[in-house]
Each structure stands twice: as structure tokens, then as C-alpha cells.
């Protein structure tokens, strides 16, 4: 995660000194609008909309795509619980899909889980690791499904010649404390589609109809919610944006160094990656869960089966299938019975039991990570 320091303090001070904390009252001086324009340009996308969280971004994207009651949305069994909860917020239901050894949604299981009621796929780029977007896009095209790309944990990362988040019909980012851009909380919707952008902007702001927005007249007005951000969030993000490339370069070079050391280890291999040239995240997979557990005792290593709410078996609100009001229950609107069980994605559990994520420590000096790589390599050779 990027450090927060003097640059952010200056940006926040500028907003406070202006006396205008609302982005829509700041007019042409809006730092949030400047961030959106600069970040969209950097990612080579037409539209970017800042919202108050990654969850809000995902809900807005689903609403923009017209996903609703009776629809099914395919989500990976390994992701933050928001990915599965967001479809429920628009009246649809999540259908869980296994991951493969890349720690991202398995295209083969996507094919198995598609029904006549499937309307969208949400591939998730977990821990800066990218999905097989070529395969996913081809499946979506064959079945006429929306691809809503969850790049919350991979802000600014590339997949081949494009940036993640810009490959699907619409993408989303998170800017919370753990992400590559850190505003404490925050998110964004990104798309090249004018209509999807207009609908996302309309949904995220109950007052959208009173703004003088481009494209707004092309879409019938509908009721939205309030997922807006203040200028304080926009100021922090704008201040941090210039650091993003440096952070990703650091992660890329450290991964290369770490892989050279760890690839010599016994009983394990570096997890497959869908674009090794641009890789900025690293995990390793063992033959046995016991070996992964032993390796995870090292500093800077995390066995993924122990990551709590990122694993479908810990998604208590999903398993409960209960809404805040029984009359507003997406599962009653589904065309078939949707059930969940702890065994339904057993391949995912097996992979997570045998996989460890290795921190690349961007906050530490390079010599510290070099020493860490040697220490980890020695532990694998014993």
C-alpha cells in the first residue's frame, strides 16, 4: 500500500482552505474531477467515476448493466465477500465458481456454471494477480454475458497490452487502506461505454438529474442512491496518483528477484500467472498442505486458506440467504433454487490450503527483501 504523508496533507489543506468540500460545488476546480480525468487517461479509458467504496463501485456497475431480479451472476469462490454480496444489492443472486492455481476464476468452471439465467461474470484480480481475461472474454461473447471486472486488488496493473479494469464491459477499483491507491476508503467505476457510464453516474448520485452532465439526456432518468465522494477523497487520490507507477515497478522487480530464489525450492512451484511479463504479485503452491503450513510460519508469508472472509466458506451472509426484509429477497426472485454448501467449491479449498502468498514488501528497502528472499529459499531447501 502507498504511504500517506506530506503530499496528501498539502492536498487536503488546499481543499479545506477553499471551504468547499463537495465535489459538485467545486466546479472546474474539483480535484476529484481532475483525478478522474488523469487516471482515465493513464488507463487509456474513456470514463472513470469515483465513488465511496469498491463495494459501491461494484453495485453501481451491476446497476449500470441492468442486472436485477431473476438474474444470476458468476463470482469466484475466493474473493472479498463484497463481490458476492453486490449482486444481492440489485436483486440478483451470486453463483460460486472455482478458482484455478492462478488464484483467479477458472474459465472451465465458468462454462460449467452458466445457465439460461446467467447475465454477468465478475472476474476478480486477487492480490495483484490477473485473471485469464482472453478466455473469460471469449466465453462472455459466446454466451452474451456482461463482464464486470473487479480490479479492486490490482489497481493500475496490466494484463498483456491493457490495464485490468478496462478489459470487460465495465471495471471497478477500490481505494481502501490495503490497495495500490489508498484514500482510506473509496472506489471507482471505469468503462468505455457512454451508456454504462451514464447509468453508473445516475445510480451513484440521487441528485444526478440536477447536474449538467454530458450524455445524461441520452438515458431515461431512474432513482439512484448516494455513493458520492467528497473533495477530501479526490484530493488524496490525486496526490497519490503520481506514485502508482513507482509502486508497481518496485513490485515487479522484487517479484523477479524473489522468483529467482524461490523457484529452486523443493515440493513447490511458483503459482502460474496469466501474464508473467507484467506480474506484480507472487504466490507459491505446494504438493501438500502440511508443507504450505510450515512455509507460512516464515515472516512475510501467508497461507491463503487462513485469510478469513476472502474464502466462500466464511461468507456467513451469503450462506444465510437472508435479507433485511423477507419481502425483498433476491433468492425468492431467482428462477431456480440456489444453494450453497461448504463442499461446493472443494477444488478452491484444496488450492488455498496448499498456496502461500509471498509479500514483496514495497514499504521496505530493497536489501531487506533480498535478505528475505534468501531466508525463504533456505527454508524451502531444508
Q: Which residues contact 305 (CB under 8 A, 6 or more apart)?
A: 289, 311, 349, 352, 353, 355
Cα(78)–Cα(3) distance, rounded to whole angstroms? Answer: 27
Q: How confident is the model at residue 380 (pLDDT cuts 50, 70, 90)?
A: confident
Mean pLDDT of the chain: 94
Mean pLDDT of 178-184: 94
Q: pLDDT at position 216, please? A: 65
Given a cut of 80, whether residue 30 has pLDDT beyond it is: yes
Residue 336 phi/psi, 5-degree rounding, is -150, 165
Given a cut of 80, whether residue 56 has pLDDT beyond it is: yes
Here the cell at position 100 is 484455478
Q: pLDDT at position 217, please? A: 65
Bridge-based pairing of strands 158-159 and 118-121 is unpaired
Q: pLDDT at position 2, please? A: 66
3-class SS at 219? Answer: coil
Q: pLDDT at position 1, please? A: 63
Torsion of CA 283, 114, 174, 36, to 10 degrees: 120
- 325-356 burial string, b = 16+ CB within 10 Å, else e? eeeebbeeebeeebebeeeebeebbebbbbbb
- Partnered with residue 94 across adjacent β-strands are 73
Q: What is the pLDDT of residues 139-178, one digit of tens each?
A: 999 999 999 999 999 999 999 999 999 999 999 999 998 8
Given a cut of 80, whether residue 337 has pLDDT beyond it is: yes
**Residue scoring higher pLDDT (282 or 382):** 282
Given a cut of 80, whether residue 212 has pLDDT beyond it is: no
- Residue ranges and CATH numbers for the domains of the chain are 6-243 (3.40.640.10), 245-310+345-381 (3.90.1150.10)
pLDDT over 70, % of the chain: 98
Highest mean pLDDT among 43-52, 217-226, 262-271: 43-52
Q: What is the pLDDT of residues 16-27, one digit of tens each?
A: 999 999 998 888
3-class SS at 36? Answer: helix
- Cα-to-chain-centroid distance, residue 131: 11
Here the cell at position 219 is 438515458
Cα(317)–Cα(306) distance, rounded to whole angstroms? Answer: 19
Q: Among 50, 109, 165, which residue's Cα sits nearest to residue 347?
A: 109
Cα(335)–Cα(369) distance, rounded to whole angstroms? Answer: 52
Q: Where are the alpha helices (DSSP H) in 125-207?
A: 133-143, 194-204
**R_g (Cα) of the chain, nearest Å:** 21
Q: pLDDT at position 306, please? A: 93
Q: pLDDT at position 107, please? A: 98
DSSP codes, 244-270:
HHHHHHHHHHHHHHHHHHHTT-SSEEE
Amino acid at each position: 500500500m502507498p504511504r500517506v504523508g506530506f503530499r496528501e496533507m498539502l492536498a487536503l489543506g488546499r481543499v479545506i482552505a477553499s471551504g468547499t468540500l463537495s465535489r459538485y460545488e467545486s466546479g472546474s476546480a474539483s480535484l476529484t474531477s481532475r483525478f478522474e480525468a488523469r487516471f482515465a487517461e493513464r488507463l487509456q479509458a474513456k470514463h472513470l467515476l469515483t465513488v465511496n467504496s469498491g463495494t459501491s463501485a461494484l453495485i453501481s456497475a451491476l446497476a449500470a448493466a441492468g442486472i436485477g431480479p431473476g438474474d444470476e451472476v458468476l463470482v469466484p469462490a475466493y474473493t472479498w465477500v463484497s463481490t458476492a454480496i453486490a449482486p444481492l444489492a440489485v436483486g440478483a443472486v451470486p453463483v460460486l465458481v472455482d478458482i484455478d492455481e492462478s488464484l483467479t476464476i477458472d474459465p472451465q468452471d465458468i462454462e460449467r456454471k452458466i445457465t439460461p439465467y446467467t447475465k454477468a461474470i465478475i472476474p476478480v484480480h486477487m492480490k495483484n494477480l490477473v485473471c485469464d481475461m482472453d478466455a473469460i472474454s471469449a466465453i462472455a461473447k459466446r454466451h452474451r454475458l456482461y463482464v464486470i471486472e473487479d480490479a479492486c486488488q490490482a489497481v493500475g496493473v496490466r494484463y498483456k497490452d491493457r490495464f485490468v479494469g478496462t478489459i470487460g464491459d465495465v471495471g471497478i477499483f477500490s481505494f481502501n487502506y490495503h490497495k495500490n491507491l489508498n484514500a482510506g476508503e473509496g472506489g471507482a467505476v471505469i468503462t468505455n461505454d457512454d451508456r454504462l457510464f451514464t447509468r453508473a453516474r445516475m445510480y451513484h448520485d440521487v441528485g444526478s438529474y440536477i447536474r449538467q452532465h454530458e450524455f445524461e439526456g441520452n438515458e431515461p432518468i431512474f432513482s439512484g442512491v448516494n455513493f458520492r465522494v467528497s473533495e477530501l477523497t479526490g484530493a488524496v487520490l490525486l496526490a497519490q496518483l503520481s506514485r502508482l507507477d513507482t509502486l508497481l515497478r518496485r513490485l515487479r522487480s522484487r517479484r523477479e528477484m524473489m522468483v529467482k530464489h524461490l523457484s529452486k525450492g523443493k515440493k513447490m512451484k511458483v503459482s502460474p500467472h496469466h501474464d508473467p511479463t507484467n506480474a506484480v504479485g507472487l504466490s507459491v503452491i505446494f504438493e501438500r498442505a502440511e508443507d504450505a503450513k510450515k512455509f507460512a510460519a516464515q515472516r512475510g508469508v501467508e497461507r491463503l486458506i487462513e485469510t478469513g472472509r476472502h474464502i466462500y466458506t466464511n461468507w456467513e451472509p451469503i450462506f444465510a440467504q437472508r435479507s433485511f426484509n423477507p419481502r425483498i429477497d433476491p433468492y425468492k426472485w431467482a428462477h431456480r433454487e440456489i444453494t450453497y454448501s461448504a463442499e461446493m467449491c472443494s477444488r478452491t479449498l484444496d488450492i488455498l490450503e496448499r498456496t502461500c502468498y509471498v509479500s514483496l514488501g514495497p514499504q521496505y528497502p530493497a536489501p531487506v527483501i533480498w535478505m528475505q528472499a534468501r531466508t525463504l529459499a533456505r527454508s524451502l531447501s531444508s
